[in-house]
Amino acid sequence: MKQALADHLDFFRQFRETFATTGAVAPSSRFLAKALTEPLSRRSEPARILEVGPGTGAVTRHIVRQVREGDRFDLVELNTRFVEILNGRFELHPEYRKVAHCAAVHHVPLQEFQTTAPYDFIISGLPLNNFPPSLVEEIFGAFFKLLKPGGVLSYFEYMYVRPMRKLVAKPDEKQRLAGLEEVIHRHLGPHRFRQDWVFVNVPPAWVQHLRTASAVEA
């Protein structure tokens, strides 16, 4: 309970100071975390896993519990305070320490992240609705560059955020939202295979699951 309260306080502080890159007032609920990690939970072989924008680790702890022998787990986080929290977990928390030998936290923008091999699963908590369309296009480009053929990308967005913002937005913001919607739907169209509705979260969210073409299909 104390840890959960500390996480919420840390998250809220970062939300106030860095809203554009934090994008939420509270960590993801366990229901949202379960939906985001559902494809990972069904795999039968060792996997390479990448979490992008883990924040204080609300989803990370669900991933950690699913890491098995032979897996590789990397985390990419831009916020300095969140990086400190996550590194502390891998050093001190019993569940995290069990997988610390195959895990690493990378303090770098996703677009600059380098890896030796592509990933089977990417799980993202980036607040795409806060970003300009050009940046979201770059992020999706990085996602698909880092995914192996047949790999799965799972990310979430808060329900009806863009339509509601459009109702009260100024012209420049409406243009940004329209451009953002175009970019997102262009990538969802050929790749989405599932959408989950998560109502028990603040705010409620959709989880989008995308799959790249397999080597055979490509």
pLDDT tens column, 135-190 = 999 999 999 999 999 999 999 999 988 888 989 999 999 999 999 999 999 999 99
State residue 142's pLDDT score. 98
**What CA–CA distance (Å, rounded) separates 182 from 162?**
12
Residue 216 falls within a domain, yes or no? no
Q: How many CB atoms are closer than 10 A to CB 48?
A: 22
Torsion of CA 214, 141, 30, 85, to 10 degrees: 130
Residue 5 scores a pLDDT above 80: no
Residue 13 falls within a domain, yes or no? no
State residue 28's pLDDT score. 85
Strand 103-106: give its sheet, edge to edge. Answer: 103-106, 72-76, 48-52, 119-124, 147-158, 205-211, 192-198
Q: Are 129 and 157 in contact (CB under 8 A)?
A: yes
Mean per-residue pLDDT of the chain: 89
Residue 197 falls within a domain, yes or no? yes
State residue 78's pLDDT score. 95
CB-based contacts of 43: which residues, under 8 Å, 6+ apart? 120, 121
Q: DSSP of 40-97, one letter per residue?
A: HHT--S--EEEEES-TTTTTHHHHHTT--TT-EEEEE---HHHHHHHHHHHHH-HHHH
Residue 23 falls within a domain, yes or no? no
State residue 16's pLDDT score. 43
Residue 134 falls within a domain, yes or no? yes
State residue 161's pLDDT score. 87
- Domain with 115, as residue range(s), is 46-211
Residue 82 falls within a domain, yes or no? yes
- 75-122 residue pLDDT tens: 999 999 999 999 999 999 999 999 999 999 999 999 999 999 999 999
State residue 24's pLDDT score. 55
Q: What are phi and psi of 78, to 5 degrees?
A: -90, -25
Give the domain CATH number at 138.
Answer: 3.40.50.150
State residue 26's pLDDT score. 66
pTM for the structure as a whole: 0.87
Residue 22 falls within a domain, yes or no? no
Q: How far is CA 168 from the centre of its chain?
A: 27
State residue 217's pLDDT score. 53
Of the pLDDT bands very low, low, confident and very high (cuts 50, 70, 90), residue 12 is very low
**What CA–CA distance (Å, rounded) separates 38 from 179?**
30
Total of domains in the chain = 1
Give the SS3 label for residue 216. coil
Q: What percent of the chain has pLDDT over 90?
A: 79
Residue 34 falls within a domain, yes or no? no
Q: How far is CA 115 from the centre of its chain?
A: 17
State residue 199's pLDDT score. 96
Residue 15 scores a pLDDT above 50: no
